[in-house]
Chain A
Amino acid sequence: MTNRIAQIAVALSSGAVFGFGLSLSGMLNPARVQGFLDVFGVWDPSLAFVLGGAVAVAMIGVALMRRMARPMLDKSFHLPSATKVDSRLVIGSAIFGVGWGMAGFCPGPALSALSLGLMPVVVFVISMVVGMLVHDRLIRGRSA
């Protein structure tokens, strides 16, 4: 029970650090994200530094994880079990990329930007959740 409450507190703080990091990095702004993706236009390399910094620190976390038998607040690590590169992975990611490029929003920044109270962000988040549910409805019984 105490672990359960601690897990919720960790999830809340982890989300807040993530959202603050996105805000500081400039990646809450779809214009900056599209500026990075516009490699043939006026290229803004910021996102490469964001991703580089994030992956470098996450790698330290992964290295520590590999020395631990279990996480501090749970019985085991919950890691993705799939290892095969299949067409669903490639096509799904390709579809995701088209949407990401069109609006400059991916799930993290869109949810985080909800607190600014801008209508297009609300519309994006609702559409995104609908897209997820449509997928899971159509492809029921397959791993999601």
Chain B
Amino acid sequence: MSFPYWPSLLGGMLIGLSAAMLLLLNGRIAGISGIVGRLAHGAQVPTNAAFVIGLALGPMLYLALFAHWPVVTITVSTPIIVIAGLLVGFGSRMGAGCTSGHGVLGLARLSRRSIVAVASFLTTAVVTVTLMRVVGL
């Protein structure tokens, strides 16, 4: 009875815990694109900067606990990375959220807007990955 998805399930639950903490204590939605967007405009800098610093501390805690960095494998070329980053930034602002705000909290709140957003980005992401594999990018 081996279930290889325990780390994914536990990690996901910690993400949910983080979102619940921020919501119940600070009254804020843990939506990363919103947090970065506000930070880029100089809004609520201390708390938003603290959250982003915390995000980057996460892998260091992982390193301290498991004595190795989490695996990060990037196979795509730099031009693709640049285009992808621009699209992610632009799209998350236009759609008012990303995988965290719409994906985690929006679904947890059963927000109609978030359910539509998740369906939309999952569809285009699946199509994109499939096309890239077919084309060989």
Contact = CB atoms under 8 A, between A and B. Distances in A.
A102 B82 CA distance: 10
Contacts of B24: 61, 64-65, 68, 71-72
B74 A118 contact: yes
A128 B108 contact: no
Contact of A135 (B10, B73, B89, B118): B89
Interface in B37-73: 37, 40-41, 46-48, 50-62, 69-73
A31 B73 contact: yes
Contacts of B62: 20, 23-24
B55 to A, nearest CB: 4
Contacts, number: 492
B106 to A, nearest CB: 8
Q: How large is the interface on A (under 10, 10 to 19, 20 to 34, 35 or more residues)?
A: 35 or more
Interface of B is mostly: helix
Contacts of A112: 55-56, 58-59
Contact of B82 (A18, A47, A101, A123): A123
Contact of B72 (A9, A29, A94): A29
Given A59-B108, A99-B86, A8 B47 contact: yes
B126 to A, nearest CB: 5
Contact of B11 (A26, A55, A72, A73): A26
A29 to B, nearest CB: 5
A21 B58 contact: yes
Given A15-B57, A83-B113, A101-B127, 17 more contacts: A12-B51, A15-B51, A20-B61, A23-B11, A23-B58, A37-B126, A51-B12, A58-B108, A71-B28, A107-B92, A107-B100, A111-B36, A113-B59, A115-B59, A123-B82, A129-B36, A135-B93
